[in-house]
A and B are shown apart, each in its own frame.
Chain A
Amino acid sequence: MNMRALYATAFKSILTKEINRFTRIWVQTLVPPAISMTLYFLIFGNLVGKRIGEMGGVSYMEFIAPGLIMMSVITASYSNVASSFFSAKFQRNLEELIVAPVPHYVIIAGYVGGGVVRGLCVGTIVTLVAMFFVDISLHHAGLVVLTVLLTSILFSLGGLINAIFANSYDDISIVPTFVLTPLTYLGGVFYSLSLLPDFWQGVSKLNPVVYMINVFRYGFLGYADMSVPFSIAVMLGFCVGLWTLAYYLISRGIGLRS
C-alpha cells in the first residue's frame, strides 16, 4: 500500500466533504457576509466616510475596503472550522476519521483547507461587493493573495483549536464574540494606527489582526502602518505556532479520545 497516495486521497476526501458542507448551506455561509459588508460600505464608507474625508492618503471608503474584506475572511475561516469540527465531534462522526489510517497532520490540513476555501470564497464575494462602492486597485497582487492565504490558515487553525476544547455550541460562540470581534475591530479596519497615541499603538502591535490588515491594505493601496516583511513574519509565526498546538492536541487525543 502506497501510504502517500492514501494520505493524498484522504486529504482530498476531507477537503471535498468540507467544501460540500459549506456550499450545501450557502445561504448561511456565503450570503450573510455579502449583506453585512454592503451595510458596512453604505453606513461607514458612504454616509460616515464622507464626513471623515481622507485617511492614509485615500478616501475613507477605499481605506476601509481591505480591512472589511479581511474581516469577513477571518470570520468565515474561523467559524467554518470551529462549527464543522465541533459538530463532527458532537455528532461523533469525527470517529470516522479517528479510526481510519489518516495521520493527524492530514486531518488538520483537510479541515484547515476547508476553512481556507470558504475564506477565499467569502473574500471574493466581499471584494465583488466592494467594487460596487469603490474602484479597487491592486498595488501588489502577490501580497494580497499571500495575506488572504496566511490569514485564513491562521484563523482556521484558531477555529480548530477552539473546537477541540469546546464541549458545547456555546463554547464555539464565546471566542468569536469575546476575542475575535474585539481583535478585528481594534485591528485597524476602520482607522490608521498612526491616529492612536503611542501607548495604544504599542498595545495594538500585540494584536495579530493588525499585521494582516497592514499587509493586505498595502497590497491594495500601497499604504502600510508597519513594516510589511515583519508583518508577514508575524503571520507565519502565528501559523506555525497554532499548527504545532493543534497537532499536539489532536495527537494527544485531547477532547477527542477517552
Chain B
Amino acid sequence: MANTKNPPVYALEIKDLKKTYKDGVEAVKGISLTVEKGDFFALLGPNGAGKSTIIGVISSLVQKSSGKVSVFEHDIDKELELAKLCIGLVPQEFNFNQFEKVLQIVVNQAGYYGVKKDVALQRAEKYLTQLDLWQKRDSPARALSGGMKRRLMIARALMHEPQLLILDEPTAGVDIELRRSMWAFLTELNEQGVTIILTTHYLEEAEMLCRNIGIIDKGILVECTSMKSLLSRLNMETFVLDLGADLRVEPSLDGIKCRLSDRHTLEVDVAKEQNLNGVFSQLSELGIEVLSMRNKANRLEELFVELVEKGSIEPNKSREQQSGKGASASKGASS
C-alpha cells in the first residue's frame, strides 16, 4: 500500500517521454510511467512497439527527443552518472567482445563502475557460479552456447550490484529448462531487493514473474497496472482436462463451452460466476473420468491481444489512459 506520509521511492520515473529517430520514425510518443523500488515490472508489446527504445533511453544508449527520466530520483539530464550507477542492463543482443574470456568480460565491466579488481574477482566467482558459468571462465565468449551467452550478460550486468536490473528479452531463444532456471534466479534477486524491469515476448513469463505490467503499442502505453488487476478483468478461464475416456465428439455440458483438442483432452471454458464442481459432476454423470487438470496459460495473451488491438483502433483513448490510469495503476500496484 502506498504510504501517504512517506511517498514511494521510484526506481524509475518516466514523464512524457518522446523519441523520434532521424528517419522520422516516432518510436515513443509521450509515455509516462513509474516503477516502484523492489517491483518486478513487465514491459510488454509487439515488435517495434518502442520497448527497446525506452530501455535505450533509460540506459543512455538512445538520446531522447523530450521528456524526463529519473532512476532512483537521479534525473538522467542532471545526474546521469549517479543514475547509471543504479542500473544494470541486459540488452537484447549479445554485445560483449566475442574474443575476450568470460572472466575478463565481467571483471572489465565491474571496473567501468569503479569496482576494484580484487572485489570484482570475488563477485565474478559469485555470479558466474550462480549462473553456472564458472567452469567456463577462461573460455572466449565466442565459444559459449546461446544460453550461456545470455547468462553471461546477466552476470556482467550484476557485477556492480545494481539496484535496478533491466532485462530486454533475456530468455529469447533459450530452452525451457534454462528459462525456468533463469526465472528462479531473477525471482531470488528480486526477493533480495533488486528492482527488475523485464521485456519479454513470453507472456507466460511475465505472468509468472511480474507483479506489475505496462503494455506498449506503437509508442503508446496502452495499459499500466498490476498483473493481478489485469488478469482479474478476464471473465473466462480455460482449463485443460486430461480424460481417462476416449472421446470422438465433445460431450454436451449444460451452460459450459468445451472442445476436444484430441481424443483424450478436453478444453473447458469456465466463466467467473461458474464453478468447477458443476463441470466435474456433469462429466461424471456422462461416465467421463478426469485424470488431471491444468490452467491453460493463455490468459495474459488474450488480454494482450485485446489491449493492443484496442490501442491501435483508439489511440487517443489510450493516450488518456497512459497519463491518468498509468500513474494510479502504479500506486495501486504497491498494495
The interface of chain A, by Cβ under 8 A from chain B, is: 1, 3, 5-7, 9-10, 12-14, 16-17, 20, 24, 88, 91-93, 95-103, 253, 257-258
14 further contact pairs, Cβ within 8 A, besides A101-B114, A102-B112: A10-B113, A13-B110, A13-B111, A14-B112, A16-B108, A92-B93, A93-B97, A96-B112, A97-B112, A98-B61, A99-B84, A99-B89, A101-B80, A258-B63
**Most chain-B CB neighbours within 10 Å: which of A5, A9, A20, A101?**
A101
Choice from B56, B81, B97, B109 contacting A101 with Cβ under 8 Å = B81
Docked complex Cα distance between A92 and B93 (Å):
9
Q: How far is the CA of A81 from the CA of B61 in the complex (A)?
A: 22
**Does B91 touch A at the CB level, under 8 Å?**
yes
| CB neighbours of A20 from chain B (8 A) | 104
Asked whether any CB of chain A lies closer than 8 Å to the CB of B183, the reply is no
B110 contact set on A, CB distance < 8 A: 13
A257 near B96 with CB under 8 A, answer: no
Contact call B114/A95, Cβ cutoff below 8 A: no
In whole angstroms, how far apart are the Cα atoms of A95 and B60 in the complex? 9
- Tell whether B280 is near chain A: CB-to-CB under 8 Å: no
In the assembled complex, which residues on chain A have CB atoms less than 8 Å from the CB atom of B245?
A: none
Choose from A6, A93, A101 the contact partner of B96 (Cβ within 8 Å): A93
Q: Please report the number of residue pairs spanning A and B whose Cβ atoms sit closer than 8 angstroms.
A: 81
10 closest cross-chain pairs (CB), A and B: A13-B111, A6-B114, A100-B112, A101-B81, A92-B95, A101-B84, A93-B97, A9-B114, A99-B59, A258-B62
Whether B114 contacts A10 by the Cβ 8 Å rule is yes
- Chain A residue numbers with a CB within 8 Å of B115 are 9
Partner of B63 from the list A1, A88, A253 (CB cut-off 8 Å) is: A253
Shortest CB distance B163–A (Å): 13
Provided the pairs A103-B81, A258-B21 are in contact, do residues A9 and B111 lie with their beta carbons within 8 angstroms?
yes
Q: How large is the interface on B (under 10, 10 to 19, 20 to 34, 35 or more residues)?
A: 20 to 34
Residue B231 lies at the interface, judged by CB distance under 8 Å to chain A: no
Task: State whether the Cβ of B102 lies closer than 8 Å to any Cβ in chain A.
Answer: no
Tell me whether B81 and A3 are in contact (CB under 8 A): yes
The residues of B that contact A102 with a CB separation of less than 8 Å are 112
Does B116 have its Cβ within 8 Å of any Cβ on chain A? yes
* Structural contact, B108 and A17, CB atoms closer than 8 A: yes
Chain B interface SS verdict (over half): loop
- Is B85 within 8 A of A101, CB to CB? yes
Let me know if B84 and A1 touch, CB within 8 A. no
Which residues of B in the span 87-136 have a Cβ within 8 Å of any Cβ on A? Answer: 87, 89, 91, 93, 95-100, 104, 108-116
Give 27 A-B contacts (CB < 8 Å), ordered by A residue: A3-B81, A5-B114, A7-B114, A9-B115, A10-B113, A10-B114, A13-B111, A14-B112, A16-B111, A24-B99, A88-B97, A93-B95, A93-B97, A95-B61, A96-B108, A96-B109, A96-B112, A97-B112, A100-B109, A101-B84, A101-B113, A102-B112, A257-B60, A257-B61, A257-B62, A258-B56, A258-B62
Identity of the chain A residue whose Cβ is nearest the Cβ of B109 in the assembled complex: A96
**Are B108 and A13 touching (Cβ within 8 A)?**
yes
Closest to B86 in A: A101
Whole-angstrom distance between the Cβ of B125 and the nearest chain A Cβ:
18
Residues from chain B with a CB closer than 8 A to the CB of A103 are 81
Contact A100 B84 (CB under 8 A): yes
